[in-house]
Amino acid sequence: MGMAEKRISVVCPWCSVGCRFYIVNVNGYPKKIEFDYDHDIRNHGKLCPKGVAAFQHLRHPDRLKKPLKRVGERGEGKFKEISWEEAIKEIAQKLSEIKEKYGSEALAFLGSERCSIEENYVLQKLARALGTNNIEYVCRMCQSTAVAGKGMVLGHPGLTNPFEDILKAKVIVLWGYNPAATNPVFFGQYIEKAILDNNATLIVVDPRKTKTAKYADIHLQPYPGTDLAIALAMLNVIITEELYDKDFVAERAEGLEELAKTVEKYTPEWAEKVSGVPAELIRKAAITFATAGTAALLTNEGVNQHANGTRTVMAITEMMVLCGYFGKEGVMSGAIPGAHNGMGAGLMGIGPHELPGRFPLHAEEHKRRIEEAWGFKIPEKPGITYVEMIDAILEGKLKALYVMGTNPAKALPNLKKAEEAFKNIEFLVVQDIFLTETAKYADIVLPAAAWFEKDGTAISFERRVQRSFKAADAPGEAKPDWEILVMLAKELGFGEYFNYSDADDILREINRIIPPLAGATPERLKKNLKGCMIPCPDENTEVPRLFVQGFLTPNGKAQLIPVEYKEPGEVPDEEYPFWLTNYRFVGHFHTGTMSHRSKSLSKRWPEEYIEINENDAKRLGIKDGDLVRVETRRAALVLRAKVTPHIREGVVAAPWHWDFNYLTTDVLDEYAKMPELKTAACRISKVEG
Amino acid sequence: MSKKIFIDFKRCIACKACEVACEMEHGEARIRVFEFPDLTSVAFNCRHCEKAPCMEVCPVNALSKDDDGAVVLDPLKCIGCLMCGLACPFGIPKIDEYNKIMDKCDLCAHRRAEGKLPACVSACPTEALKYGDINDVLWAREGKIVAELKDIGDRTNVLEAYLIR
Ligand code: SF4
Ligand code: SF4
Ligand code: SF4
């Protein structure tokens, strides 16, 4: 009961399934969550532990409530409170000064998969108003290889089909992806039903036997980053045994001959030597996949986060093309972004080479159209990518970084180097809901409203645009990110370009600027909680399935570009004999900004541990629960050992929500500039005493 | 009609959404997920026994059955003597250290009163947890087997097909 108790519908603030639920609010204060069994929504009312605990961090005592100015050393975390007026004034002054002195390219901005599309749109517009394309977000570190790889082959990186289609798939391949831990509701409501109720065959590719792999009929366990060898060998089998869909390929793809020639040498026997997976198992997987009739093939960071990530994505996508599994019911292909608006942020033009709508920077026609609408010029010179920004800071080229709702000081690879950069940058602004690891280095910290404390739109990995509504008041003086950006834009003298009084205003401008989103109007999304699947060119249209007619490449045909094998960036040797990889806990999220502050989650998943195969452990005299030292060329961590048969010999794995990235290398994928976050060479030893 | 929570351990992925959902409702989780080395996992809560030993031993009748057959505890009557905890073959009733009385699953009495499902069942993303009358739940499961058998029977000899499977 209660006089002013209200139920407000929100989108989950964690992963990208797009689950909805209610926040029950009493006089502006969030009291609890309630499941939504009333509407036809994607999660059918269900939630995973993060969703259920989603309001715990909202009222955590650590929430930032006032703007802060650094008084101590960088990284020390000592600040004094200042007024909004002072904070905005100082930021505007400093950004202008730096621009004046070093040019616009000395400025850079980081957007956020945790903020709304409206907020990301405003941020990139502000960067461009200031004359720079140095604008990025973490997609560079989780999905960029998938975007590049699928872009080259198919012309579009999005998930191809609606969730329901997976229920009709005959074979499901989960490659470098453990949805039972990363997207439990998607797993339970769709994948598990397809397997247990509809007898779909499951093929899993993962060095670890995960909760997902428990359901697998075929489980391939390659060394981390050697997936490319498996994909090439599967292409080899599909082509040499003529298991592909000849009509489909003839009509809708080009390049088969070249591809066939290239993969000739990549036999399953060759792949066994490279990946450690038995040739027979690879052959069996290829045949099962190619002869199923309908297939869903979902990939994730296990594929993406490698120095050969783009190549692997291309090879895997080409398997789907060869078998004719596109544009039909009962199939699915895609990579799954981590956060609830991972896809939306990218579409807003948060990219150093991209315009809003994901048009390339050099797409003159679009550029002119957008410039006309905005009233100012978009800078010509492409910006630099996320990881490259760190080098640019260290080289003294980048002087100011503005970080909205993201935590690079924990998400970047080779963290020691990143910390050096944050210590040495001339000016750093962080706007977030907590004092993150990154915020501790900031000159000015701005308190942002959390996801439930504002209206905003997100795009789930199903390409579904959904509105989330303000369900609680922000604590203290915290403000929605877009409001902060508008204040700053006005102070910088750009007021006329940033004339928004609410999120609806911004969404309406997005409707006008980005044609595939023209039909996702505030009115439509408010009326229809299930949202709509992009592209939605007008208010009555949406596109549940991609590639029904043709692919989105210039000539409409899939490009079977030949891919050669390339090793991951760092492989074991005598000095560092183990392959190191990482994984996620179902109860934690990314760098832990929110989940480490959720009591119910941190209590159940309190600490990290490193998984070691039982045979390796025996050899090294390590017992379950021992402390072990894990060392790479960059750093060492001491972690508790979990001795298990569920990881393959020669590989060790730890969750990445803690300090894992001190260990990783910053070698980059050549196409997408994705850092190799998923593997490194390491040595391990028991910590004595 | 007696309703219970049934657990299909084949579907459980040990995500602990049930534990967290219960904790959010009651301050303390009254359901626990056990994980085994072979990757199976089982969520485990009060069975609300037909002949509940906890109820039988309670010296002050703090435990009783409600209309849905749930064994619920009356906190005003409970004296924290721990008898129920001892008598329960599953060790379900737990002492609430702060109030010195017992705490146990009541199948979310307050939610049922509002026509809602128990919190753990509402959350469970895989539907490993089902709430309902045993006959309905069993029928849903058996019905599927019967349907499958019929389907096979239409095509070939039932017994043979079943053996081959
Ligand atoms: S599956 Fe993802 S979107 Fe759904 S409740 Fe869990 S974290 Fe939220
Ligand atoms: S029925 Fe309610 S009280 Fe019982 S375990 Fe489930 S959530 Fe907890
Ligand atoms: S919520 Fe369901 S799947 Fe998750 S641990 Fe509980 S019973 Fe298992």
Confidence of residue B158 (pLDDT cuts 50, 70, 90): very low
Confidence of residue B139 (pLDDT cuts 50, 70, 90): confident
Any idea what the Cα angle at residue A398 is, between residues A393 and A404, rounded to 5°?
Answer: 90
Exposed e or buried b per residue across B73-97, where buried means at least 16 C-beta atoms within 10 angstroms of its C-beta = beeeebeebebbbebbeeebbeebe
Quick one: DSSP state of residue A517?
G
Q: Which of A54, A65, A72, A68 is nearest to A11 (CA)?
A: A54
Tens digit of pLDDT for each residue in A554-567?
Answer: 999 999 999 999 99
Residue B162's pLDDT is 47
Residues of A near B (CB-CB distance < 8 A)?
Answer: 32-33, 35, 37, 43, 45-49, 51-53, 180-181, 184-185, 187-189, 192, 196, 209, 211, 214, 586-587, 600-601, 604, 644, 646
Residue bearing tokens 């028991």: A686
A625, A376 Cβ separation under 8 angstroms: no
Instruction: State which fold the A578-686 domain adopts.
Output: Barwin-like endoglucanases (2.40.40)
A150, A558 Cβ separation under 8 angstroms: no
How long a stretch of residues is chain B?
165
Instruction: State which fold the A68-140+340-533 domain adopts.
Output: Rossmann fold (3.40.50)
Q: For chain B, where do the domains classified as CATH 3.30.70.20 start and end? A: 1-46+105-132, 48-103
A175, A335 Cβ separation under 8 angstroms: no
Q: Which ligand is closest to the CA of B118, given by its number? A: 2
φ, ψ at B94 (rounded to 5°): -125, 150
Residue A26's pLDDT is 94
Is the confidence at residue A315, as pLDDT, over 50? yes
Tell if the CB–CB gap between A600 and B15 is shorter than 8 Å: no
Domain B48-103 top-level CATH class: alpha beta
Tell if the CB–CB gap between A188 and B127 is shorter than 8 Å: yes
Instruction: Provide ipTM, 2 decimals.
Output: 0.95
A438, A429 Cβ separation under 8 angstroms: no
Q: Which residues contact A648 (CB under 8 A, 6 or more apart)?
A: A207, A208, A221, A223, A276, A613
The ranges assigned to domains in chain A are 5-59, 68-140+340-533, 144-336, 578-686
Instruction: State which fold the A5-59 domain adopts.
Output: N-terminal domain of TfIIb (2.20.25)
Tens digit of pLDDT for each residue in A60-113?
Answer: 999 999 999 999 999 999 999 999 999 999 999 999 999 999 999 999 999 999
- Strand B63-65 and strand A332-335: the pairing is unpaired
Tens digit of pLDDT for each residue in A498-535?
Answer: 999 999 999 999 999 999 999 999 999 999 999 999 99
Ligand 2 pocket check for B7: Cβ under 6 Å: no
Is the confidence at residue A1, as pLDDT, over 50? no
Residue ID of nearest Cα to ligand 1 atom 2: A15
Residue ID of nearest Cα to ligand 2 atom 1: B107
Residue A570's pLDDT is 95
Ligand 1 pocket check for A17: Cβ under 6 Å: yes
Measured CA to CA in angstroms, residue A440 lies from A42, A44, A166, A187, A434 at distances of: 38, 40, 44, 37, 10
Tens digit of pLDDT for each residue in A437-471?
Answer: 999 999 999 999 999 999 999 999 999 999 999 99
Tens digit of pLDDT for each residue in A623-632?
Answer: 999 999 999 9
| Best to test chain A binding among B12, B22, B24 (most A CBs inside 10 Å) | B24
Residue B140's pLDDT is 76
Contacts of B13 in chain A (CB under 8 A): 180-181, 184, 187-188, 192, 211, 586
Q: Which of A468, A467, A469, A462 is nearest to A533 (CA)?
A: A462
**CATH architecture for the domain at B1-46+105-132:** 2-Layer Sandwich (3.30)
The CATH H-level (homologous superfamily) assignment of domain A144-336 is: Dimethylsulfoxide Reductase, domain 2 (3.40.228.10)
Which whole number is the average pLDDT over A539-544? Answer: 96
